[in-house]
Structures are given as structure tokens and as C-alpha cells.
Structure 1
Amino acid sequence: MGTSIDTYKRFKPHILMVLGQLAYTLLYFLTEASFNHGMNPHVYVTYRHIVAGFVTLPFAYFLERNKRPKLTIALLLEIFVLSLLGVSLTLNMYFASLNYTSPTLLASMVNTIAALSFVLAVILRLEDANIRNPRGIAKVIGTLVSLAGVSGMTLYKGPVVKSLGRTLIYIHRGNGAVHENWSKGLILTAASCITWSMWYIMQAYTLKRYPAQLSLTTWMSFVGAAQSAFYTVAVQHKRTAWTMGLDIELWSTLYGGIVMSGLVVYIQLWCIEQKGPVFITVFNPVSTVLVAVVAYFVLGEKLYTGSIIGAVIVITGLYLLLWGKEDPQPESEEQEQCCTTHEDPMMQISAQP
């Protein structure tokens, strides 16, 4: 009995991260289904973060009551820019691209955020690319390989993988525009990954001045929702776009706000404290594989050889980068580092939509 408990405690972070990746896998298909049903992606981003803000608000208020520093005009401006990069601008581009590409491509592109963040961190001298040792070389090679994989996915679509026949679930494509503009979808996805990377770097600076993660998450959810609402109203004048019934649109919004922006974010923060940020990023490719398997075998989604080849290259580069970042340390030093991960500029590389 004692051995079983010890084993569970040892692998608890691993189990939680796998469950988190399962949650991300479901997110891609719920959002795609809601968009095919007619939901506006910008309305989805707005509603999702309103829900997320109200979910995290009571936890932030009570748990960080004595931890929150005083808000200044400079901090409010930082939060405004963080919300723009991390919520309204990035996620509006990201989920809009789902109308033109596929969940498999989006899940693969997310793996490049680690490499892009590393490049920005090196430029800003927040990360050391020491090419005099094997791990430094692995960082550089891993980054180049990941970016090469994305370039390959962008430039080479390739033939469609032969279907296995009848699929388990048939999804009706609600309008003809879905998945018709692959190039536009790739541009939107790539742009969202770049702004996401910028968000991680800026977040590292802000957390030093405002070390209340739940409160910062709540602020970004509400401010990002307001920004997204402003943009959505400007481009979408139909009042019907904002109405939802008891259908897939409502369930995907609640799932995104409560499960993804609430529960999964909490799981990630706990695992970061226990194992550090490098441990979290190792699990990113899990959702990539799961999305590809479900999309092809269950839903009958078209799978292109270019996406398969590019995804394999991206994942290979990612693991090279992660191996280079994970410096070998004694266990005691590793535990001490985990307690101060909020000072690591690459702390939240693992975060997804």
C-alpha cells in the first residue's frame, strides 16, 4: 500500500500533465465544432475570457489578498499590453485560423512557441546560447530544426494521406469557407505564435513587479475580454452573433473558460512549482499526436503528408531544445530552483490556448 502511494506521489505531476494534454486535445475539436456551427471566433474569445475571469476572481481575491502589490499606472499599462499579446490579439488570430486550416496543424504549430521564445530571450539577453558546450549547441540546433519544420509545413502541403474509409463520427461543415484558405490560416497561426512568444517574455518582467499570478491572470482575462469585445463589435455588427443557445457554442465557451483557463492553468502552475518549466514543455507534443490521431481516425479529417513530416521535425527540434535547457543539477538545487521559477524568463513556455 505504501509503495503504491509513493509511486503515485512520484508520478502525480506526470499524470496531471497527461490529463492536461487530453483537455487541450478536446479543446481543439470543441472550438472547431462550435465554429462550424456558426459561432464567431472573436465572440468565442471574448466570452471565454469573461468566464475565465469570473472563475479565477474569487481564488485571486482570497488566496492573494496579502500578496498583491499596489497597482500603478505603469503596471496597468503593462497589463493592458500583456492582455493584448496574450489574449485578444493572439487568440483572435489563433482561433480564426482554425476556420482555414485544421486542428492537427494548429496543435503542431504550438510546439514552435518554445523555439521562438528562446530566440527572443537570446536577443534580449535573457537566455544564454553558449555554443562551447553540447547543451548550448543543442539549444541552437533544436531551435533551427523546429523553425525549419514549421517552414516545411508552410511551404509544403503535400498529398492527402489515404482515408481508411468510414469514420466513426461525421462532422458537418457548416459553411463552405471552412478550410478553403490554407495560406491565410498558416499566416494567422504563425503570427499568433510570434505574439504568444512575445507575451511569455514580457510576462517574465511583469511577474517580478506583480508576483501575484492568479490576480494577474484575472486581470488579463477581463482586460483581454474587453479588448476582444471592442474589436469584435467593430467588425461584427450582427446582434445574433452574440447570442448562444444550449448547444455546442455554449459548451465550448464554458469548457474553454472553466477547464482550460481555470483548472488546467492551475495544474500547470502546480507542476511548475514541483518540477520546473522544462518538465511542463516536454508534454506539449502529446496533444499534437492525440489531435492528429483523433482527427484522422475518428473524425475523418484530411491529413497531409507535409503536416506529418513537419510535425516530426518540429517535435525533434523541441526535444533538442529542451535537453539543452535542462542543466543537470543535484536534487536539492533543483528543488530550490522550482521554488523560484517565477524569476525564470522561460517560465510559462508550455502554456497553450
Structure 2
Amino acid sequence: MAALGVTAVMVVIECMEVGVSTIMKAAMTRGMSQFVYIVYSNALALVILLSSSFIFYRKRPLPQLTVSILLRIFLMGVISLQMFLNTGIRYSSPTMSSAMTDLTPAFTFLLALISRMEKLDMRLQGSQAKSVGTMLSVAGALTVTLYKGQPITGVPSQNSSIDESLQVLPSNWVIGGILCAAGALGISLVYVIQTWILKDYPSELMITVICCLYVTVLSVPVSLIAEKDPNAWILKPDVELIAIGCSAIFAVSLRSVVHAWVCGKKGPLYTAMFKPLGMIIATFLGVSFLGDTLYLGSVIGGIIIALGFYTVIWGKAQEEEKMVEEKGNSNFASCSTKAPLLQNRSVDV
């Protein structure tokens, strides 16, 4: 039941994350700067998280903070800026963003191998499946990024021919895909670093508060340099304000705390495995509400990514099953060696 509850929470969080991305895309389409968006959403989230931490830790002791923990959270904060992902969404769409974040399980698996959070033995069927699944995920992401194909939804322009629809994506779409892929790598790094921190400092909410503080402080000078128009910092009381509010509450605050909690309970790979679900949700929202055109390349790439994702998960399940069997055999052997000692005991009457 506990595992089912964690799964349900992650599904809900993924739905909320794609919804926030869709609202953010709509706000950016109307001219909102992604740099202003990052500063305001993190600043508002910091207020929410600080208020929540005062209430939550009012009668709970906090683990002791050390310089090492603060430095690790600072590293996570630098990566959590996610300038790449937000800029990528501006150049492309939420559908492209979710397609590229489908690379997160593959990136997380590779980083977990490097950090020894995962093991790889090519003699085992599970390890072979994880390796093949990783390569399929990369191939699918490249297909979505570099191949457009014929439009499946929407009416193509009368001036465009079939040959034009089979050409590769325009340059801004390719740039958007590359930036979103870099953002996916950043998400994987955050998962791994977060799991590393939680082993020594098991306090998900406080880690999120400190990380949000770092992100807010770091994003201000970066955004001031990148966004030179002072009028961009004046928010309009429309979808821009809604996007910042939704991001602060659901993305930066709630999602970050839940991801930290799941990383601590299940590990970084389990947290990353839910990312491909966003592809289905983002496609529906993008086509239905933003007027995005669904192309054949996105469908083919999404299918390849899904196959790679589930191959990795199947391999992970095989390895866990084998570990349980080996542990059971070890316990049985231990009991067998102790049995003769019990039989040889003599009881004086």
C-alpha cells in the first residue's frame, strides 16, 4: 500500500508539472520573460516554503546543518536554476519539453552508475535491459528533436508541400530541443545530489527551503544581466500572474518537496521513471489548448522513448527480484548452518 501511495503521488505531481509548463508557455507567448518568471516564482515559493517550515518544525527537532551539507545544497541550487529548460520551452513547446525530459531516467541511470547508486553487470539480463533501454531513450529523444515529419493534427499551410513537411525541424525548434535536453540532465543531477544529501541530512522541507533561497539569490543577478528591458519586470494581471503563482505553489514548492521525499524513500531512478508520463499529458494540453501541431516525428520518438523507459524499468525490476532471492537464500543457508548446533545441545534434567 505504501508503494502504491508513492506512485499515486508521483502521477499527480507529474500532471501538475505539465500543467504548469503549459501555463508558462502561454504566458511566454504573450511576452513574459523567462528570466523574470524564474525570479518571481522562486521568490514567491521561498515565502511559501519559509512559512510552511516554521509551522512544520515548530515542535520537531531539525538535524544539524554542516558546511558540507550547505555546499551540496548550493550545488543543487545552481543546477536547479533551470535556465536551459525554461528557455527551451520558450523556443519550442511543453510537448517538446516533456519529450526531452523523458531522457531523465536514462541520464539518472548513468549518473547513478557513476555515483555507485546503481550497479551494472552485463552478464545479468536486468543490466542488459537497462543498457538497451537507455540507448532507446536517447534515440527517441533525438528523433523528436531532429525529425519533424508530416503533421497529424492541424491544417498545414497551402504553400507547404509534402517534401517541406518531411524536412528537419526549424532552427529554433532544434535549439529548444537541445536546451530542454540540457534541462533534463540538470533534473537528473538534482535527483542524484538530493539523494546524496538526504543520506546525511534527512529533512526534505528544509533542504527545499535552503535550495530555493540559493536559486532566488542566484537568479536575480543573472536575470538582471540577461533581461535588459525594465518594463519586463512589470507583471500584467493576466496569465503572467497566474503562471508565476502556479509555478511557485505547485512546481517550486510542492513538487520539489515531494521529489525530495521520494528520492529519500525510493532513490533517484524511481523518481525519474515517471517523467515519460508527461509526454502524453503535454501532448494533449499543447494540442488542445495552445494550438500546437502534432507531428509524426513526435509520435515516433515518443513511442521509442516509452519503449526505452519501460525496458529500463523492467531491467530494474529483474535486478531487485534477484537481490530478494539471493537475500532469501543467504538467510536460509545461515539458518541451516545453525541447526546442527541446536541439535547437539544437551539438557540436564
Q: Same fold per TM (> 0.5)?
A: yes
Report the counterpart of residue 284 of structure 2 in structure 1.
293
User: Which string of whole-angstrom CA distances, capped at 9 and with x for unpartnered residues, describes residues 170-221 of structure 1?
Assistant: xxxxxxxxx8711211221122222332232223333333322211111111
Report the counterpart of residue 165 of structure 2 in structure 1.
none
Tell me how far apart the structure 2 counterparts of residues 123 and 48 of structure 1 sit (CA, whole Å).
33
CA contact (8 A) 2:100 2:180 kept: yes
Report the counterpart of residue 308 of structure 1 in structure 2.
299
1:23 to 1, 16, 30: 16
1:54 to 42, 47, 53: 47
2:62 to 58, 67, 70: 67
Tell me how far apart the structure 2 counterparts of residues 116 and 274 of structure 1 sit (CA, whole Å).
20
Q: Does 1:112 align with 2:112?
A: no
Q: 1:162 to 1:66 in 2, by over 3 A?
A: closer
Q: Give the TM-score taking structure 1 as reference length.
A: 0.78
CA contact (8 A) 1:109 1:150 kept: yes
SS at match of 1:68: coil
Report the counterpart of residue 188 of structure 1 in structure 2.
179
Tell me how far apart the structure 1 counterparts of residues 232 and 224 of structure 2 sit (CA, whole Å).
10
Tell me how far apart the structure 2 counterparts of residues 232 and 159 of structure 1 sit (CA, whole Å).
38
CA contact (8 A) 1:154 1:186 kept: yes
CA contact (8 A) 2:208 2:257 kept: no
SS at match of 1:284: coil
The 5 Å alignment of 1:235-246 reads 235-246=226-237
Q: 1:227 to 1:203 in 2, by over 3 A?
A: same
SS at match of 1:131: coil
The 5 Å alignment of 1:94-133 reads 94-133=85-124
Q: 1:264 to 1:99 in 2, by over 3 A?
A: closer
Q: 1:164 to 1:296 in 2, by over 3 A?
A: farther
Q: 1:10 to 1:222 in 2, by over 3 A?
A: closer
2:248 to 257, 260, 265: 257
The 5 Å alignment of 1:214-229 reads 214-229=205-220
Report the counterpart of residue 141 of structure 1 in structure 2.
132
Report the counterpart of residue 38 of structure 2 in structure 1.
45
CA contact (8 A) 1:108 1:311 kept: yes
Report the counterpart of residue 348 of structure 1 in structure 2.
none
Q: 1:297 to 1:242 in 2, by over 3 A?
A: closer
Tell me how far apart the structure 1 counterparts of residues 91 and 236 of structure 2 sit (CA, whole Å).
25
User: Which string of whole-angstrom CA distances, capped at 9 and with x for unpartnered residues, describes residues 24-50 of structure 1?
Assistant: 221121000111121110111111111
Q: Give the CA deviation at 1:59.
A: 2.9
Q: Does 1:85 align with 2:79?
A: yes
Amino acid at match of 1:44: Y
CA contact (8 A) 1:112 1:146 kept: yes
Most deviating of 269-278 and 251-260:
269-278
Tell me how far apart the structure 2 counterparts of residues 34 and 260 of structure 1 sit (CA, whole Å).
16
Report the counterpart of residue 76 of structure 1 in structure 2.
70
CA contact (8 A) 2:107 2:185 kept: yes
Tell me how far apart the structure 2 counterparts of residues 217 and 271 of structure 1 sit (CA, whole Å).
13
Q: Give the CA deviation at 1:164.
A: 6.8
SS at match of 2:190: helix
Amino acid at match of 1:42: F
Identity over aligned pairs, percent: 27
Q: 1:112 to 1:56 in 2, by over 3 A?
A: same
Tell me how far apart the structure 1 counterparts of residues 72 and 256 of structure 2 sit (CA, whole Å).
21
Tell me how far apart the structure 1 counterparts of residues 103 and 13 of structure 2 sit (CA, whole Å).
19
Tell me how far apart the structure 2 counterparts of residues 269 and 23 of structure 1 sit (CA, whole Å).
16
CA contact (8 A) 2:153 2:295 kept: no
Q: Give the CA deviation at 1:20.
A: 2.3
Tell me how far apart the structure 2 counterparts of residues 10 and 114 of structure 1 sit (CA, whole Å).
19
Q: 1:36 to 1:297 in 2, by over 3 A?
A: closer
Larger radius of gyration: 2
Most deviating of 266-275 and 200-209:
266-275
Q: Give the TM-score taking structure 2 as reference length.
A: 0.79
Tell me how far apart the structure 2 counterparts of residues 157 and 84 of structure 1 sit (CA, whole Å).
33
Q: Give the CA deviation at 1:160.
A: 2.2
